[in-house]
Amino acid sequence: MSAKGSAARPRAAVRVTGLGLGGSLLLLVLSGCSVEGVGKAFGHFGWPGKGITLQAHKMYDLWIASTIAALIVGVFVWGLIFWCIIRYRKRGDELPVQTRFNMPMEVLYTVTPVLIVAVLFYYTAIVQTDVDKLSKNPDQVVEVVAFKWNWQFNYRDGIGEEANTVASTVGSSDVIPILVLPTGQKIRFEETSKDVIHSFWVPEILFKRDVFPGNVRNTFEITLDKEGRYVGRCAELCGTYHAFMNFELVSVSPDRFNTFLEAKKDGATTQEAMAAIGYAGDAAYATTTEPFNTRRQKNSWNQRDAVSAGTGAAVTAGK
């Protein structure tokens, strides 16, 4: 008995020390020390990067920190497994000491996973609440209207269905819809669909939300903190041309955004308004994706150049 007891105690001590080390590492990581650095070194653990909104950065940190925590636990467990395999490998026909109950170990086995889950839950709940938060007075309100198979973006003068659209951009078979938005401002999205369920998704925002038809008006807010042009997609299988239901988010400084919006309000086309903020010529159109050719002949899925009519319309139509 005493031999078993003294053997179990150092092992338990090693385990507790290991857990303590793991826990402090987890805390260190969750406190945001060098989360981005670690993420970069490991290809962001499958994510597109740190994201382009304040909300995305929080989700990114949570994802990387959780993955690191999981890896720490994983490495510790793998270590124990291999240590046991080697240390207690079969050396002869003699049976090893048969043990049954070890209360401290049993308690540790139960408490440790519960603690890990609790810590993950705590940080997840905080980040989720933060990402879902709606401000009382957003700086911009954009109504996202999805339909088979394109997007319309309405710039609104207030919150809710009763507000008015002051300007809008829309996509067609020939032109990818462009959504110009300012950095550093709280932007509220209000989503509605004309037909089936779609989903608004910009991979760099690290976020997507379903767009429902009928009375459901899904909302969310973001604050962009990086300028650039990013492809947006429909992330809910909505029909034949779902895969081609793309748009482009153009993130610009507030000054340029105001110029764009004023131009649109004055009746300019989306491309003229894009030119007004320095995106002239080809740059006035989407650069991250291109329109899908909807004029293909039937049963010609693998055929290139199967255009029957309308070639060349891409630059003029759909403004």
Spell out the SS3 assignment of 228-262: EEEEEEECCCCCCCHHHCEEEEEEECHHHHHHHHH
- Note the Cα 249 to chain centre separation in Å: 15
Residue 245 interacting with Cu ion (CB under 5 A): yes
Record the tokens describing residue 94, joined without a space: 């003699």
Closest CB to Cu ion among residues 186, 233: 233
Of 7-15, 21-29, 198-206, 221-229, the segment contacting Cu ion by CB under 5 A is 198-206
Nearer to Cu ion, 15 or 242 (CB): 242
Query: Does the footprint of Cu ion cover residue 235 (CB under 5 A)?
Result: no
Query: 50 vs 198, which CB is nearer to Cu ion?
Result: 198
Euclidean distance between CA atoms 60 and 47, whole angstroms: 8
Beta bridge partners of 208: 201
Q: Which of these ranges, 44-52, 121-129, 156-164, 190-198, lies near Cu ion under the rule CB under 5 A?
A: 190-198
Answer for which of 50, 58, 188, 198 binds Cu ion (CB under 5 A) is 198
Q: How far is the CB of 149 from Cu ion (least distance, A)?
A: 6
Q: Which of 202, 238, 252, 273 binds Cu ion (CB under 5 A)?
A: 238
Q: Interacting stretch for Cu ion, rule CB under 5 A, among 6-14, 58-66, 195-203, 284-292?
A: 195-203
Shortest Å, Cβ 212 to Cu ion: 12
Identify which of residues 206 and 234 has a Cβ nearer to Cu ion in the complex: 234
What's the min distance (Å) between Cβ of 236 and Cu ion? 6
How open is the CA angle 13-68-44, to the nearest 5 degrees?
170
Residue nearer to Cu ion on the CB measure, 18 or 213: 213
Cβ contact 158:251 at 8 Å: no
CA-wise closest residue to 251 among 226, 281, 279, 285: 226
Do residues 245 and 149 make contact, with C-beta atoms less than 8 angstroms apart? yes
Q: Kindly state the tokens that stand for 156.
A: 């609104």
Exposed, middle or buried: residue 232 (CB in 10 Å: 0-12, 13-18, 19+)?
buried
Q: Give the binding site for Cu ion (CB under 5 A).
A: 198, 234, 238, 242, 245
